[in-house]
Amino acid sequence: MHLVVVGGSDAGISAALRARELDPGAEVSVVVADAYPNFSICGIPYYISGEVTHWRNLAHRTTADLEATGMRLRLDTIARRIDVAARKLLVTSPGGAEEMLGYDQLVVGTGAVPLLPPVEGLAGPGALGPGDGVHLLHSMDDTFAVMRTLEQTAPASAVITGAGYVGLEMAEALVTRGLRVVQVEQLPEVLSTVDTPLGELVRAELTRQGVKVLTGTTVRRIGRAPAGQAGRLRIEATPPGGGTASYLADMVLVVTGVRPDTRLAAGAGAKLGARSAIAVDRHMRTGLPGVFAAGDCVITHHRLLGETYLPLGTTAHKQGRVAGENALGGDREFAGSLGTQVVKIFDHAIARTGLRDHEASSAGFDPVTVAAGADDHKAYYPGSHRIAMRFTGDRRTGRLLGVQLFGHRHAEIAKRIDIAATAIFHGMTVDALSDLDLSYTPPLGSPWEAIQLGAQAWSRSVRQG
């Protein structure tokens, strides 16, 4: 058995590790486009901020650790084409030579690539790049380019285009390094994956920390600033009221989302699904003989929505593990995602799982969303913090559909969203949350856990009509 895995990030390495775990006699080769297998892309903002002191610390496992499992790493090697009939993969080695790599089973984990917004100056002739202080942020090479700008030009200011998870983390990272930061988001509120009232709390925290937040604002052009002005770059944007507004900055970071990298699989005839991601079944099979796929390049099977596209590191790890097991003849299914996410924004954290009201309506539920609040532990014990909550449940059945939380970074927001995710995963009703036997001590919680108080607020609201 020779298993070839394309991709050295979460899905690819998880597939390779699972295969080696199940069959130590299997030959496993991993084709990695760069020299950084199994690096935590999610940790990049914390290296840029200086909290992670060396880039090598971002490796989940070192190259030596991976090779010690018995897998063979083909670093700086580009996968070009899959010959499905012959079960061969055309690759280009670091020296430029082409090679046909035979396989018995293949796992494609090519991930995603940055989504480039239609901004003048980012593409085409004369486009600006890292040497000009304009950066994308998705790979280790992108990270090194950002660090060169920070260390060699000592920028005093930055504009971040995009206010999703990475954009918010990078705002904190650059403020931590002492830069003045302007964050530009074309949607009405930051962090569009949560409801507006919680997005407003996130924006308030950004503002409190010195970030200038511009929502409802679309960047139109990025160019070089005229000589003598306070900044290397000039950013032109359309504010909410129309017209044109200009901003000067020493560097620009563009983090406006990703799209699935499907070129390899689609070129071999794999079908595409939601958001043009590779269509796979719950076993991570593509429909091509002997070809599996996993991670940010494939569709996501959502437990409440069905087929969607929701690229997350946690999902990629799970999908890769399923693909690696099934490539060796297993019969494991990916259990499905709920889109559970959490992000730290300076001194606070925000998290979500399951569905928001409009998502639940589109999925055929009869949703009710109720806002609530509770202390993270008994208020008489010093240091308590208030948690803002939004619960979404189905009016007809009482089923819990979604939860959103915002609170202080020490308020165990991640732990509490995980309780909600577990409940939704197992189809619990909102009322049933109150029956859970959860831990309590005054410095850490209350007899009724905050999540349970939110559930009770939802039930009261529904009863009262």
The confidence score (pLDDT) of residue 228 equals 83
| Angle at alpha carbon of residue 409, lines to 258 and 154, rounded to 5° | 60
Residue with tokens 């991976």: 66
- CATH architecture under which domain 130-254 falls: 3-Layer(bba) Sandwich (3.50)
Confidence band for 140, pLDDT divided at 50, 70 and 90: very high
For 341-464, which CATH superfamily applies? FAD/NAD(P)-binding domain (3.50.50.60)
Q: Which long-range contacts (CB under 8 A, 24 or more apart) does 315-319 make?
A: 316/9, 316/10, 316/11, 316/14, 316/109, 316/111, 317/10, 317/11, 317/14, 318/14, 319/11, 319/14, 319/284, 319/294, 319/295
What is the reported pTM?
0.96
| pLDDT at residue 227 in the model | 86
pLDDT tens digit sequence for 253-308: 999 999 999 999 999 999 999 999 999 999 999 999 999 999 999 999 999 999 99
Q: For the domain made up of 2-111+259-327, give the CATH fold.
A: FAD/NAD(P)-binding domain (3.50.50)
What percent of the chain is predicted at pLDDT more than 90?
98
Tell me what the mean pLDDT of segment 357-371 comes to: 98
Q: What angle do CA 265, 277, 417 make, to 5 degrees?
A: 130
> Domain map of the chain by residue range?
2-111+259-327, 130-254, 341-464
Sorting pLDDT into bands at 50, 70 and 90, what band is 231? Answer: confident
